[in-house]
Amino acid sequence: MSFVFWFLSHQEYQISDSVEPFLTQFFMKLRGFVAGGGNDAAEKQAPCHMVSREQVRPILVNTLQLIIQRIAYPEWFQHNDPRFEEDERHVAFTEFRRSLTKIYKRIFLVDETLGFQFIQASLTQLTQQVSSVRPMEVEAVLYLYKETGEVVKDVSHHLQNSGPLASCFVQLVECEALIRADHWAVQLSLIELYVRYGRILAIHTELFTKYGQRILEVFLGAQGIRSSDARVVTRACFMLPRLLKPMKKQVVPFVVQMYEAMKDLLAVQYIPSSLVPVHADGMPSQVVLKGGLKAEDQGCLYEAISSLIIVMPPEQMRPALQLLLKDPAGNLTDILNAPPAKVASDVRGYASWAGTNIKQSQMSASHFQQAKHKLLLTGRLP
């Protein structure tokens, strides 16, 4: 194994990748030879002697340590560049990373306790030294933490019992330097983790009291929907309704505060048609003003707020919905009351503006009605 580890740790990925097939096969078979490994049939029919977990742990530890190093994206990797999507070197690394992830999960089948200890220790080391760790190395740790959730049969039950993944999540959100990171890859990783493990805030309400508002601020701030990277913005908008889903009751008191925080991003601006380029097929391009959002991203934010309004007390529900629809309705009123000559000067521009406002209002009302219908069916809404 020392030779295998030497090759796996080689700085050239073509060399490191060459031993991955062996490691994959090795860990596929290993569980059957570990005494008490959970594979009773293999133990009864084993053709050779069994080994103890203590005997294989040095191999497991070395493999885990190398996986977390090798799974980090190298400096030469070009992200989200269509020119490199079919590049042989990039495709090979993506497959290599995927295979290492499978090996990582197989180690849990051999020694789950060691696996959890490893990811806990990795997160502890990261939060203590985050300022000196390269962004892609941070992403590698967060990625493996997210993938660890795949080896847990019932994540909700695990979080309910404050298992290792729960303590890791608390450790993560307590690290201010980490959750305020300004690198797009780290921001995207954290967004995925907030949604995957954020339900712990609904299960243990005392944790929401302590960390809930912090996570909401991150989502609505420069590490989320106001990120300088468009990839992060789109993902944060899409994931916000999913973040809120398990903790709606806890978040309801912050509805107005959340709306005010994203009010400018929900605004639908008039864009003169002269500024909108037209494709060869005659369809206008989608133009986004600087600091604004795409219509699809705005729709996700409307969905998020609507999902909270439906669980508000009846006396607060209607005023909150009116507040949400106030701006698009106001824009439509302005268009209807505008001098005919003004509208006639740019019919296409005003028609597009009106259509977008109607679409956003309709999406919000649709999400509201769908949620209301579900609650009526379940008897939770009078």
What are 11-40's pLDDT values in tens digits? 888 899 899 999 999 998 888 888 765 555
Task: Check residue 269 and give its pLDDT.
Answer: 80
First-residue to last-residue Cα distance in the chain: 66
- Of 311, 304, 316, the closest CA to residue 378 belongs to 311
Higher pLDDT, 186 or 342: 186
Task: Check residue 229 and give its pLDDT.
Answer: 94
As a whole number of angstroms, the distance between CA 232 and CA 58 comes to: 39
> pLDDT class for 188, splitting at 50, 70, 90?
very high
Kindly tell me if the per-residue pLDDT of 242 is higher than 90. yes
Task: Check residue 103 and give its pLDDT.
Answer: 95
Kindly tell me if the per-residue pLDDT of 281 is higher than 60. no
As a whole number of angstroms, the distance between CA 142 and CA 123 comes to: 8
**Rounded to the nearest 5 degrees, what angle is found at the Cα of 245, between the Cα atoms of 191 and 163?**
65
Task: Check residue 317 and give its pLDDT.
Answer: 83
Kindly tell me if the per-residue pLDDT of 199 is higher than 60. yes
Name the H helices within 134-212.
Answer: 135-148, 155-160, 164-174, 176-179, 184-197, 200-203, 205-207
Task: Please state the rounded mean pLDDT for residues 328-336.
Answer: 86
> pLDDT class for 223, splitting at 50, 70, 90?
very high
SS3 of residue 52 by DSSP = coil
Phi then psi for residue 51, to 5 deg, are -120, 160
Task: Please state the rounded mean pLDDT for residues 239-247.
Answer: 94
What confidence tens digit (pLDDT) does each residue in 254-276 have? 998 999 999 889 888 878 877 77
Task: Check residue 286 and give its pLDDT.
Answer: 61
Q: Which residue has the tokens 């892609």?
A: 136
Q: How far is CA 294 from CA 99, 236, 238, 268, 291, in A?
A: 36, 13, 12, 10, 10
Kindly tell me if the per-residue pLDDT of 85 is higher than 60. yes
What is the chain's mean pLDDT, rounded?
Answer: 87
Task: Please state the rounded mean pLDDT for residues 335-347.
Answer: 88
61-70, 278-287, 323-332 — which is least confidently predicted?
A: 278-287
Which range has highest mean pLDDT (190-199, 261-270, 323-332)?
190-199
> pLDDT class for 369, splitting at 50, 70, 90?
low
Beta bridge partners of 34: 51
Structure tokens belonging to residue 361: 């209002």
**Rounded to the nearest 5 degrees, what angle is found at the Cα of 72, between the Cα atoms of 71 and 78?**
115
Structure tokens belonging to residue 364: 């919000």
Phi then psi for residue 244, to 5 deg, are -80, -25
| Residue at 255: amino acid letter | V
Task: Please state the rounded mean pLDDT for residues 282-299.
Answer: 69
Whether the Cβ atoms of residue 190 and residue 179 lie closer than 8 Å to each other? yes
What confidence tens digit (pLDDT) does each residue in 156-184 have? 899 999 999 999 999 999 999 999 999 99
